[in-house]
Structure 1
Amino acid sequence: MGRSLVALVALLVVVGTGAGWGAYRSATANFTQSGALDDEPDSGSGEQNILIMGLDSRLDEKGQPLPSDIYDALHAGDQNVGGYNSNVLMLLHIPGDGSKATAISIPRDDYVDLAGCDQAPCKGKIKQAYGVAYQGAKDKLTAAGVTDQQQLEQQSREAGRKAEVSTVRKFLGGVPIDHFVEVTLVAFFQIAQVVQPIEVCLNEDTSDDYSGAQFHKGVQEIDAKQATAFVRQRRDPNTDLNFTDLDRDRRQQAFIVSLSRKLEQNGTLTNFGQLQGILDVAKQNIAIDKDLDLAALAKSASTFTGGNVSFYTLPIDHFGQTDDGEDVNMVDLPTIHAIVGQLIGHQSQTSATTTPTTTAPPTAVSDAASTTLDVVNASGQTGQAAQLEDNLSSRGFVQGSASNGDIAAASSVEYGRGAQQQAGELATMLGGGLSAAANADIPSNTVRLTVGTSFTLPSSISDTADRTATSAVSSDSTTTTAPPTSVTAVPATGHGDNAPVPTDLSALSGADVPCVK
Structure 2
Amino acid sequence: KDKINSANYWGWSNGLPGVEDKVEAGLITQVETISKVLGGVPIHFYVSVDMEAVKEIVDIMGGVWYDVPKDVTDWNGRLLVGKGYQKLDGLKFMYFIRSRKGSSDRVRAANQQAILKAAFSQFKQANKLIYAPQVFLGMTRNVRTNLSIEQILALARFATQKIDSDSISNNTLAGRYESGGIPGRRESLPYYLLDHPKRVKLVENIWGKVVEPGPPDTLLPPLKKEDPETEPGAGPSDEPSELEDFLLEP
TM-score by length of 2: 0.72
The aligned counterpart of 1:193 is: 59
Report the alpha carbon displacement of residue 351 of structure 1 after superposing the two structures with TM. Answer: 4.0
Q: Is the Cα contact below 8 Å between 1:186 and 1:285 reproduced in 2?
A: yes
The aligned counterpart of 2:198 is: 335
The structure with the largest strand share of the pair is: 1
The aligned counterpart of 2:210 is: 348
Match of 1:379 among 214, 218, 221: 218
The answer to whether residue 141 in structure 2 is matched with residue 284 in structure 1 is yes
* Number of residues of Structure 1 aligned to a counterpart in Structure 2: 220
Secondary structure of the structure 2 residue equivalent to 1:125 = coil
Q: Is the Cα contact below 8 Å between 1:179 and 1:292 reproduced in 2?
A: no
d(CA) in 2 for partners of 1:308, 1:282: 29
Larger Rg: 1
Q: Is the Cα contact below 8 Å between 2:176 and 2:195 reproduced in 1?
A: yes
Structure 2 residue identity aligned to 1:201: D
Report the alpha carbon displacement of residue 334 of structure 1 after superposing the two structures with TM. Answer: 2.4
Secondary structure of the structure 1 residue equivalent to 2:208 = coil
The answer to whether residue 26 in structure 2 is matched with residue 130 in structure 1 is no
The Cα offsets for residues 185-214 of structure 1, whole Å up to 9 and x where unpaired, read as 321011011123311123334433479763
d(CA) in 1 for partners of 2:143, 2:248: 28
Which segments of 5 or more consecutive residues in structure 1 lack a partner in the other structure?
A: 1-122, 142-150, 237-242, 353-376, 381-404, 409-504, 509-517
Q: Mapping of 1:270-419 within 5 angstroms?
A: 278-289=135-146, 294=151, 296-298=154-156, 300-301=158-159, 302-322=161-181, 323-342=186-205, 344-351=206-213, 379-380=218-219, 406=221
Report the alpha carbon displacement of residue 306 of structure 1 after superposing the two structures with TM. Answer: 4.4
d(CA) in 2 for partners of 1:217, 1:176: 40
Among all aligned residue pairs of Structure 1 and Structure 2, give the percentage whose two residues are the same amino acid.
22
The Cα offsets for residues 142-187 of structure 1, whole Å up to 9 and x where unpaired, read as xxxxxxxxx96x1x22322221111100101221112111222321
Secondary structure of the structure 2 residue equivalent to 1:310 = coil
The Cα offsets for residues 340-359 of structure 1, whole Å up to 9 and x where unpaired, read as 322x233133249xxxxxxx
Distance change in 2, residues 1:158/1:507 (3 Å)? closer
Q: Is the Cα contact below 8 Å between 1:191 and 1:281 reproduced in 2?
A: no
Which segments of 5 or more consecutive residues in structure 2 lack a partner in the other structure?
A: 224-246
Distance change in 2, residues 1:211/1:247 (3 Å)? farther
d(CA) in 2 for partners of 1:290, 1:506: 21
d(CA) in 1 for partners of 2:49, 2:24: 14
d(CA) in 1 for partners of 2:68, 2:12: 37
Report the alpha carbon displacement of residue 248 of structure 1 after superposing the two structures with TM. Answer: 1.6
d(CA) in 2 for partners of 1:134, 1:406: 29
Q: Is the Cα contact below 8 Å between 2:173 and 2:194 reproduced in 1?
A: no
Secondary structure of the structure 2 residue equivalent to 1:254 = helix
The Cα offsets for residues 383-404 of structure 1, whole Å up to 9 and x where unpaired, read as xxxxxxxxxxxxxxxxxxxxxx
Structure 2 residue identity aligned to 1:233: S
d(CA) in 2 for partners of 1:284, 1:211: 33
Secondary structure of the structure 2 residue equivalent to 1:174 = coil
d(CA) in 1 for partners of 2:27, 2:174: 24
The aligned counterpart of 2:117 is: 257
The aligned counterpart of 1:444 is: none
Structure 1 residue identity aligned to 2:179: G
Report the alpha carbon displacement of residue 296 of structure 1 after superposing the two structures with TM. Answer: 5.0
Match of 1:214 among 80, 83, 87: 80
d(CA) in 2 for partners of 1:269, 1:158: 27
Q: Mapping of 1:84-103 within 5 angstroms?
A: none
d(CA) in 2 for partners of 1:175, 1:253: 22
d(CA) in 2 for partners of 1:283, 1:378: 38
Match of 2:28 among 162, 167, 172: 162
Secondary structure of the structure 2 residue equivalent to 1:199 = strand
Distance change in 2, residues 1:213/1:263 (3 Å)? farther
The structure with the largest helix share of the pair is: 2
Secondary structure of the structure 2 residue equivalent to 1:324 = strand
Distance change in 2, residues 1:287/1:378 (3 Å)? closer
Query: After TM superposition, which residue ranges in structure 1, 4 or more long, deviate above 4 angstroms?
Result: 210-213, 274-277, 290-293, 505-508
d(CA) in 1 for partners of 2:156, 2:217: 48
